[in-house]
Structure 1
């Protein structure tokens, strides 16, 4: 998040928001063409045309119940009833990443963002099947740390997801802690992502839900919870509580992360969202505690990873509408970020359909990800 207040005139800010909303609506329309369409179809359509997007879902026929393999983690229950959907397949989950056993441990869906026509991309991660790592950026927080500011080869085996960090540390109203080293104070009452030695992850209020003990290896603090006890914050419409935006606009690109009552992780990202839009999406996704992460055009991102061709060097792909490249964290990052690994590594090749069952890979279209194809 930019530290300085934006200097755009209101007309430009409104124009940027409208353009982002149109782009987001196109992204949702193409992405929602099939419940079993692979996640790259939408972004590929924007770059290469609708013909490629249609081809990306080709052959994605769900198996008969007898052919479907049992899964410990089935697709999540749809978030939107058929009669209430703003676009086809809204709220229906698809597979984004699998572990070595073929389990769909990262799943995604699209929701209509409250207050705007743009969609919000939601990701769900089975917390107990994943291992979470906090990584510093070379500028934020800067300095020398135990973890690298990128994911070099040799650190990618089992990688299933990454997401962006938070505001500039000076705007976060909290601190950053990693493996015994600290940047700024860890402030009681401030929202925090917390990483434990066993690889587990949670979101909570520092000093109330979590505290620094021998099990905690990473903490990223920022402002206050957007959702607490399943309820949206009472000051959710107080714009500057939730960060200085490009052009002073209410509706900008925003991201956030939370945990469900079962402890699983949900992440949300949308191109034109108010604080309320983001909080509502996270609440719809089941978050009982959630916090905002970075905002504005340049910073939010969520990537899932396809390990079918090379388990040691999986191919990233975008989930959500944002300009950053999918390979963002394969290079040095100026800002902190989170990397997520499957606890069961050495991911298998092939495809999984929308139910998570394995199936043959369709051929001929290089845009097709082997996941959710």
Structure 2
């Protein structure tokens, strides 16, 4: 299967930090250039160099705009809060994955935000050998021959027995797909969304993957009314309110936003996702061992990109290059045709789900 090859713009590097005693803000020296070390557990206030315009189509430089800042300069809790940086660009220099840092609501802790251009990416659901377990059409890791074009991975959700829903992949199902339960949904054209099962999405021939869990934290752009009910959002280590949490959502334009922080309440996570533009969002996993988000540097070897962490968590960046006990999501740069149009796995031009007319190809 041909995948669009991703190219990392070397715009992500942080050196040792100096903590501010009262606020917990950490400042870091910026390092730029190909030898820059990727961030490993970014702290509040970590600064990143500005993204450089990518040279594509010969020597013609093109500067692609980043997302609008999430925080006004006068309201920032630390330097560059809410300002986006390129994490991964595709072969034409278009930013596919962007990242920023926010202050988690109710704490002085950082929360890492990733934004993925949905139309430029292809999303895959992978099972874990323990959760849900069994034999599936996808492997429980990203093997060496499946890494070309890989741009991001993120963790799955709760143990299936605690999820309140089911898991569906390639025509096979584990547990029932329960109406009203929140779901990550994967289509055969590589697109992805988050919604309420039975309301926003139902099972059809175009659905190849579903991962359900509890209920939406954000629906219609509004945070759930019971967001402060800890029982609703999972059992935490020691019953603590503020633990490591991750979540994923979609914006009004259909793009994907992901949030991960080391010290977050359900409200902290929902607020971060809402601030990032999510109109529908769900919690994924919680507690110290499970949340993670990796982007991938293909500058040295496009067929075997090097993973680097985005956010603060203890798991290795290479986590999904080995067999995984839990399910996870892998994201690839979408392949493009000779005219620059997006194409699906079968080589057919892809149009925006919902019925854009031919001739209005999706931007890649």
Following TM superposition, the consecutive aligned residue runs of length 4 or more in structure 1 with deviations greater than 3 angstroms are: 33-42, 60-63
Counterpart-to-counterpart distance in 1, 2:41 and 2:243: 23
1:101/1:344 contact within 8 Å kept: no
| Matched residues, number | 309
Aligned-pair Cα RMSD in Å? 2.7
Cα distance in 2 for residues equivalent to 1:22 and 1:135: 41
Counterpart position of 2:62: 70
Return 5+ residue gaps in structure 1 as ranges.
Answer: 1-20, 47-52, 346-373
Distance change in 2, residues 1:102/1:254 (3 Å):
same
Q: 1:135 aligns with which of 114, 126, 134?
A: 126
The equivalent residue for 1:268 is 259
Match in the other structure for 1:226: 217
* Paired position in structure 1 for 2:311: 320
CA distance in structure 2 between the partners assigned to 1:249 and 1:108 by the alignment: 28
Contact kept, 8 Å, 1:22 with 1:118, in 2: the verdict is no
User: Structure 1 residue 244: deviation in Å?
Assistant: 0.1
Report the structure, 1 or 2, having the larger helix content: 1
For the Cα contact (< 8 Å) 2:39–2:310, is it kept in 1? no
CA distance in 2 between partners of 1:122 and 1:330 (Å): 23
- Unaligned stretches of 5+ residues in structure 2: 1-18, 54-58, 337-364
SS at match of 1:171: helix
Residue range with higher mean Cα deviation, 37-46 or 121-130: 37-46
Greater percentage in strand: 2
1:103, distance to aligned residue in structure 2 (A): 1.1
Residues 225, 325 of structure 1: alpha-carbon distance in 2 compared, 3 angstrom cutoff: same
Secondary structure at the aligned position of 1:240 is classed as helix
2:255 and 2:51 map into 1 onto residues whose CA distance is 29
Contact 2:39/2:309 (<8 A) preserved: no
Measured at CA, do residues 301 and 118 of structure 1 come closer, stay the same or move farther in structure 2, by a change above 3 Å? same
SS at match of 1:283: helix
- Once the 2 structures are TM-superposed, how far is the Cα of residue 74 of structure 1 from its aligned partner? 1.9
Relative to 1, partners in 2 of residues 1:208 and 1:44: Cα closer, same or farther, differing over 3 Å? closer
What's the offset of the Cα at 1:61?
8.5
Aligned position for 2:99: 108
1:174/1:190 contact within 8 Å kept: yes
Question: TM (normalized to structure 1)?
Answer: 0.78
Measured after TM superposition, the shift of residue 101 of structure 1 is 1.0
**1:29 equivalent in alignment to 2:29:** no
Q: Which residue of 1 aligns with 2:290?
A: 299
Compare relative contact order (CA 8 Å, sep 6+) and give the higher one, 1 or 2. Answer: 1
What TM-score do the two structures reach when normalised by structure 2?
0.80
Classify the secondary structure of the residue corresponding to 1:199: coil
Are 1:171 and 2:173 an aligned pair? Answer: no
